[in-house]
């Protein structure tokens, strides 16, 4: 009796992982930077909480809308290409078979074998064969606008909730330090976990995300301090 072989590849996670990591990262960075910038202008806890909540809601909606529009455009392009392939298969099947065989020849098959493979695949699922081998489309990588929008909005809100919670619990005189330090820790953990989930180095992922988060907070703190001093 043969043991059933089961595999999961990192590439299967690309669709949701990209949206989730991008959303959470933006949620932490944008909200923490907003809080640090406003706090540097000598704002009180109440003002910081309102700003953080507003940033969370606005950011989550913006991420959802942007991701939906972007991925919907990709889905529209995919559908248009598939419709074109359907038409070409219906009107010039022989040319499409030759086109498929040419693709396999370029991948290393000899002409005779490539022709037989193309013929068999055309008989089994002509549109699927052309979608996969000519257009590079597959169910694994298919654009899913609603899934991407929900993942982005949810992850942004989750990320933004972290610096928001720090604002609520940190001593008034230490809000900037607590939010900045705590957010950088969150970013480092997020970068490391995301990198590991994608099969990359956790250290590299953590350092990369933390660096850019620190840079963003430093820039907004400088702006807040400058305008706060002017006012």
Q: 178-214, pLDDT tens digit by residue?
A: 999 999 999 888 888 777 766 778 888 888 888 988 8
pLDDT tens per residue across span 77-108: 888 878 888 888 888 888 888 888 888 888 88
CB 31 within 8 A of CB 163: yes
For 32, residues 6+ apart whose C-beta sits below 8 A from its C-beta are 163, 179, 180, 183, 213, 217
pTM, entire model: 0.69
SS3 percent helix, strand, coil of the chain, rounded to 5, is 85, 0, 15
CA distance 101 to 114: 5
**Residue 126: CB atoms within 10 Å:** 19
């Amino acid at each position: 009796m043969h043991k059933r072989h089961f595999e999961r590849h990192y590439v299967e996670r690309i669709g949701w992982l990209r949206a989730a990591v991008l959303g959470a990262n933006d949620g932490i960075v944008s909200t923490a930077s907003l809080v640090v910038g406003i706090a540097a202008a000598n704002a009180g806890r109440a003002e910081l909480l309102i700003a953080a909540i507003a940033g969370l809601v606005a950011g989550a909606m913006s991420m959802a809308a942007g991701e939906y529009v972007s991925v919907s455009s990709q889905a529209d392009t995919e559908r248009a290409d598939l419709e074109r392939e359907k038409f070409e298969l219906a009107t010039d099947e022989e040319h499409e078979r030759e086109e498929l065989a040419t693709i396999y020849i370029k991948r290393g098959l000899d002409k005779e074998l490539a022709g037989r493979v193309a013929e068999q695949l055309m008989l089994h699922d002509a549109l699927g064969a052309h979608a996969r081998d000519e257009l590079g489309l597959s169910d694994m990588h298919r654009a899913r606008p609603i899934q991407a929008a929900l993942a982005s909005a949810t992850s942004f809100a989750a990320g933004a909730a972290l610096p928001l919670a720090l604002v609520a619990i940190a001593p008034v005189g230490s809000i900037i330090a607590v939010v900045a330090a705590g957010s950088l820790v969150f970013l480092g953990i997020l970068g490391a976990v995301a990198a590991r989930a994608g099969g990359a180095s956790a250290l590299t992922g953590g350092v990369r995300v933390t660096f850019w988060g620190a840079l963003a907070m430093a820039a907004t703190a400088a702006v807040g301090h400058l305008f706060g001093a002017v006012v």
